Structure 1
């Protein structure tokens, strides 16, 4: 690993298994003129194989020591952005591009920020064609979980609302240096052009989903009582005695749209009284 000492505060576990890298490159299937951005390139295990296949690559890296090592390569096709990915405006990478150009995002994400980073990237979903991430296996299982399973939760609902989610393949700890204490997996996210089930208000949806899963062992009747009555839930064709994990993404969108319509009607009545 070129005598580099990893830093715990950045959650660094560098991929160094060539068979995994080749498999990941195969899944990404990069094309020369595509606009690809890698988050957390580390020492370039994925970076330079990607550069062999494309015209240019943007990388987002916060560690100055890693940046210095990448700069030493003097690769004219490599554009380094020394910023925190959680604060980076990914739209800036498309400023000089045609309106139909979209980003492809890849990365071995630090496990300690993977969930907030995915939600940050979802803010740019209209500018992204797909995302391939190395994540903690448990997180990938949660994101791709089906309704009714114990791993199905808020993360599952919200990411599946915005994206088609695919579990691609498992990666063991021995594929990294230093080896993490957890298993990993490759996740592919493809943002929907239009969600299969459209929420009237996505902020309403997010709040309702969070509330529904706030106490997993309680029923919808109890968790959602400040947002919807049991009768309103039942009128939507959903049993209020169910727990949140039993509902589909479509069910959550249905409940969210009912709740947002009720709130809109209340606001309209209040406005008419003024």
Structure 2
């Protein structure tokens, strides 16, 4: 099925962050990496005109797509190729309750999609609320965001979103995707990232709001030493008792230490 005519006639809606992946070689590589199985429940965020959907749907009994653009939704609804395969949800993906969706589908869901750059971070944080109902995630994201999601301590890319993401998931960058493989062409490169929720949680935090607050506090003052950025929460002795060098800065502490600090607030 050639979708070029639809891309040509479609008025791009910048407020939806629309950049459609149009390169079949890249799409086939993504499908191969996702490796869809017949009985799995795959949910695609922002299917567009179905460039990825048409390949994935060949391997599964049915799949769910979430699309906010009414013009695209109508296209999918009226396309005989997709008619029997797709459960189409018209709406904002960031407002969907994915635990309820998984319960309705009867099993954990696999999430895929080429995510708009303007909602990527907030959408991931939204998904983490329903992480126990998610099997895995494959998303095309802005390259710079992927670098932050997979970053390790002691690097400039390591930050709050690195810690929050890796608390919930193991992360792996898969393939880089050049701007010219999208329509319209974005100003930045993209990457496919694989996120796999932890089966056995390596980091235990009693109150996640503490972890969120501590990482926000330290990384909003990342040039400050820990002894100063956390002075309102802990004294130097408390930090040293945890084996923390108080002269270090936010990017020097690993996730385990951040989790221990979050738990210390609960004592």
When the two structures are superposed, what TM-score results if normalisation uses the length of structure 1? 0.92
User: What SS is found at the alignment partner of 2:261?
Assistant: helix
State the match for 1:89 in structure 2. 97
1:97-131 Cα offsets, whole Å, 9 max, x none, are 54xx2100000000000000001111110000100
CA distance in 1, matches of 2:205, 2:73: 41
Aligned: 1:76 with 2:84:
yes
2:253 alignment partner in structure 1: 247
How far apart, in 1, do the equivalents of 2:200 and 2:74 lie? 41
Aligned twin of 2:32: 26
Gaps of 5+ in 1: 262-274
Report if aligned partners of 1:108, 1:133 keep a CA contact under 8 Å in 2. yes
* Structure 1 stretch displaced more, 87-96 or 32-41: 87-96
- The equivalent of 2:110 in structure 1 is 104
1:92 shift after superposition: 2.9
* 1:53 paired to 2:63: no
> Could you tell me how far 1:91 is from its partner in structure 2?
2.3
Structure 2 length normalisation: TM-score? 0.94
Give the whole-Å Cα distance in 1 for the aligned partners of 2:186 and 2:60: 30
Q: Which runs of 5+ in 2 are unaligned?
A: none
Residue 171 (structure 1) aligns with: 177
Match of 1:270 in 2: none
Query: Can you list the C-alpha shifts for 1:63-89, whole angstroms capped at 9, x where unaligned?
Result: 101101111213211111001111111
d(CA) in 1 for partners of 2:105, 2:188: 39
Superposition map of 1:101-180 within 5 A: 101-180=107-186
Q: Partners of 2:158 and 2:173 in 1: how far apart? A: 14
Q: Distance in 1 between matches of 2:24 and 2:207?
A: 44
Distance 1:235 1:77 in 2: 58
Runs of 4+ in 1 over 2 A off after TM superposition: 91-98
Structure 1 residues 40 and 96: alpha-carbon distance in aligned structure 2, compared to 1, 3 A threshold? closer
C-alpha distance in 2, partners of 1:33/1:52? 12
1:42 aligns with 2:48: yes
CA spacing shift, 1:95–1:253, aligned 2, 3 Å: closer
SS in 1 for 2:87: strand
Q: Within 2, Cα distance between the matches of 1:194 and 1:20?
A: 33
**CA contact 2:41–2:105 (8 Å) conserved in 1:** no
| 8 A contact 1:126–1:193 mirrored in 2 | no
Number of residue pairs matched by the alignment: 259
Aligned counterpart for 2:18 among listed residues 12, 37, 51:
12
Q: Is the 8 A contact 2:214 2:262 kept in 1?
A: yes
